Structure 1
């Protein structure tokens, strides 16, 4: 067999099913994982999205969220106010960024072809891919730490395992072993297609919620109350001076921005998951209710458990991470019952890390890489590339306590807030929620999203306008050798909402002055077989009833379709 370059490339191409090949062909812009999803692959209902958001909240990162708020000089009660408002804002924004996927069944990469232009869309795509690599590394490392606690409950000797790692690596041999074991466990899990993740997410969400409340109740009973962090002098324990006066007001605003910035990467590509919705409103309940409630409750649980831990185990450092609290329980309690409880709780938190890392980072990276090279990468291949890169990112160094890394990642909202604003304003106020799907895959001047040589210059200008006001404060926060005034730092504290608003409004004004081509255009036919016979072109109207339960006659179905098409034409 000849193994010339053309043969090798041909064998590396993503396989295509025969029934799909009759409708569309794989190309450098399209494959089955970035094409508008057909009804057969849309099976996420309200409970699946509830599981998604609970899993996204009840994990190591969400548990430790109270620490970031208290570090701003906020008391526990003030942190709770910020958490409630902040997570309510998150709920509102993810509803906006989920609409494109829920109605048109395409994800973040396709949306940005409409916003940035076919060629320029690679810019936000590359940013999101880098974030997927980084967050998959850090969440995988935290998963390894949970796994270490799990193993420690069965074999405590892992805590005293001989360390052969140099000090410069900022990890022990046990840390590295558990991280690699977590990676190995992840490998077969990636084989599950995204549309099949709904049941595992519901299961993990149920287990993690029950476990979190069990630990919360135990901490309250065992410590005889909430512990010292909940009192007025609690900030002394974290070495922070309480914010007062104007500083308090700005700390509150900063807290709102932190709440948004902490999940800004997930906000950005929410449409990657809402495109799996059976009906457009299926994600709505979880986004409006589950998201803020989960965020607030987990913050409270994390604060109370860390506070109780400070009272119960005063020789330990503050136990913000659940795996550190569980390790302390095992070491200090020393009973068989404690070891059994630590085992099951650690198992649940290990599953929770899988639950957040696989869909939130590995699958997200796979979806984005799919749109970078659709001819050769599908979601599964992209997810494995992201997993491999999570090792190459050296998470043990990233998580070593280097404040520069933490500042860079939290401050990345400086760039993502404007990107999100552009997407939302473009979809709702410029294109008026109408999309020509075929044009998203046509990389030629014939596409209405080609703009000027594949670039929408309005977007570039608007994005820069949203970034520059907060950029000086960002540079200072990451340790760059610059001097900025308190005014610039306070502007930086508002980086996500400010960037979102400035870029969105600037873009809207530019589009009014220099109108985009093809506004309001939609396809005359269901080219990709996306909507099926019943709901062809139905994104412009609300679906009524569940497809599985709706037994209307063919005449009513035809009437429904005609109404939908007319609505789009008006």
Structure 2
């Protein structure tokens, strides 16, 4: 329903989801701190590990998080092109990513550490922690908030991009709305609630996702910043006639595929084969580096001539 109304409806829904989940998490943090007597330990852990293992797990977690954010990094233009200017995009990214994400992590750590102090176990699921409040109205309100927030995250991360992609594949028949409906049906067929029923499955899924998204990211970054030197001809981007600047071969860039396919294959093996479980969380990094290196080798003699600087105002399509 939300995605069928277009991107403006998605934006308004997100404007509600973000503050709503923040209110619930802050309320949880205050409640658990009060239950703990306003004193918690941020260093104690029920499962102590060596310093080296801590670093390995930390970087592994970063790799899995990047696999999750990889979808948004690749289709960021679906959102940024509606911004009035480049300054707005930079400001939104600054407050929305490093500042907002870091603050949310701090609150999450406080909530989890507080649960360890109060209940003797680290409760990482906020919904499970809300259930311990013991108030039916609080439970219902928090459950609704978490459900709405989950919808907001999934619409942005999992529906906007495929809706646009499907519309671009067959624009005569598939609109943004129809593409969103197709994505919804496909998401139900996959039954993601089964995929995410086990932490091990989650790690394998994210590792496999990163194995394919990383190489795409590597190729795109090298192509834009190194091959094309940060300059593109916007009008030519939408020219699909043979011989146009970005037509390549039959509308496909073969060198990008030659860099992507072997890199994704190697990263996928490392992510999904149990023998390589120690490096599986780093599949995004590995895939990105392999694809970027291969693409540099393939395009080292084809760096584009300088083009006029692109306008700062995003071009709406």
Counterpart position of 2:271: 474
Counterpart position of 2:49: 242
Counterpart position of 2:293: 505
CA deviation vs aligned residue, 1:481-534 (integer Å, no higher than 9, x gap): xx45x8xx44x4433233323322331332222x27x75568xxxxxxxxxxxx
Is contact 1:363–1:380 with CA below 8 Å preserved after alignment? no
Q: Aligned pair 1:495/2:283, yes or no?
A: yes
Counterpart position of 1:404: 201
Residue 291 of structure 1 deviates from its aligned partner by 0.7
Is contact 1:310–1:319 with CA below 8 Å preserved after alignment? yes
Residue 420 of structure 1 deviates from its aligned partner by 0.6
Q: Aligned pair 1:292/2:98, yes or no?
A: yes
Residue 126 of structure 2, aligned match among 311, 319, 322: 322
Query: Which of these two proteins has the greater Rg computed from alpha carbons?
Result: 1
Q: Aligned pair 1:204/2:17, yes or no?
A: yes
CA deviation vs aligned residue, 1:8-59 (integer Å, no higher than 9, x gap): xxxxxxxxxxxxxxxxxxxxxxxxxxxxxxxxxxxxxxxxxxxxxxxxxxxx
Is contact 2:210–2:284 with CA below 8 Å preserved after alignment? yes
Residue 261 of structure 1, aligned match among 67, 70, 83: 67
Residue 310 of structure 2, aligned match among 540, 545, 552: 540
Residue 422 of structure 1 deviates from its aligned partner by 1.1
For residues 433-472 of structure 1, the aligned pairs below 5 Å read: 433-464=230-261, 466-467=263-264, 469-472=266-269
Q: Aligned pair 1:220/2:33, yes or no?
A: yes
CA distance in 2, matches of 1:254, 1:354: 27
Residue 432 of structure 1, aligned match among 204, 209, 229: 229
Change in CA separation of 1:358 and 1:248 when aligned onto 2, cut-off 3 Å: closer
Runs of 4+ in 1 over 4 A off after TM superposition: 225-228, 518-522
Residue 405 of structure 1 deviates from its aligned partner by 5.1
Change in CA separation of 1:379 and 1:413 when aligned onto 2, cut-off 3 Å: same
CA distance in 2, matches of 1:260, 1:519: 33
Residue 273 of structure 1, aligned match among 57, 79, 84: 79
CA distance in 2, matches of 1:345, 1:469: 43
CA distance in 1, matches of 2:202, 2:14: 30
CA distance in 2, matches of 1:391, 1:251: 32
Normalization by structure 1: what TM-score? 0.50
Unpaired stretches in structure 1, ≥5 consecutive residues = 1-187, 331-337, 478-482, 523-538, 544-570
- RMSD between superposed Cα atoms in Å: 2.8
Residue 345 of structure 1, aligned match among 137, 142, 153: 142
Residue 427 of structure 1 deviates from its aligned partner by 1.4
CA distance in 2, matches of 1:511, 1:397: 42
Change in CA separation of 1:214 and 1:476 when aligned onto 2, cut-off 3 Å: same
CA distance in 2, matches of 1:215, 1:387: 32
Normalization by structure 2: what TM-score? 0.85
Residue 396 of structure 1 deviates from its aligned partner by 3.5
SS of the aligned residue for 1:191 comes to helix
CA distance in 2, matches of 1:469, 1:390: 27
CA deviation vs aligned residue, 1:450-485 (integer Å, no higher than 9, x gap): 2233332221232245435544421324xxxxx45x
Residue 242 of structure 1 deviates from its aligned partner by 0.8
CA distance in 2, matches of 1:283, 1:370: 25
Residue 244 of structure 1 deviates from its aligned partner by 3.4
Q: Aligned pair 1:195/2:14, yes or no?
A: no
CA distance in 2, matches of 1:215, 1:296: 17
Is contact 1:257–1:497 with CA below 8 Å preserved after alignment? yes
Is contact 1:219–1:308 with CA below 8 Å preserved after alignment? yes
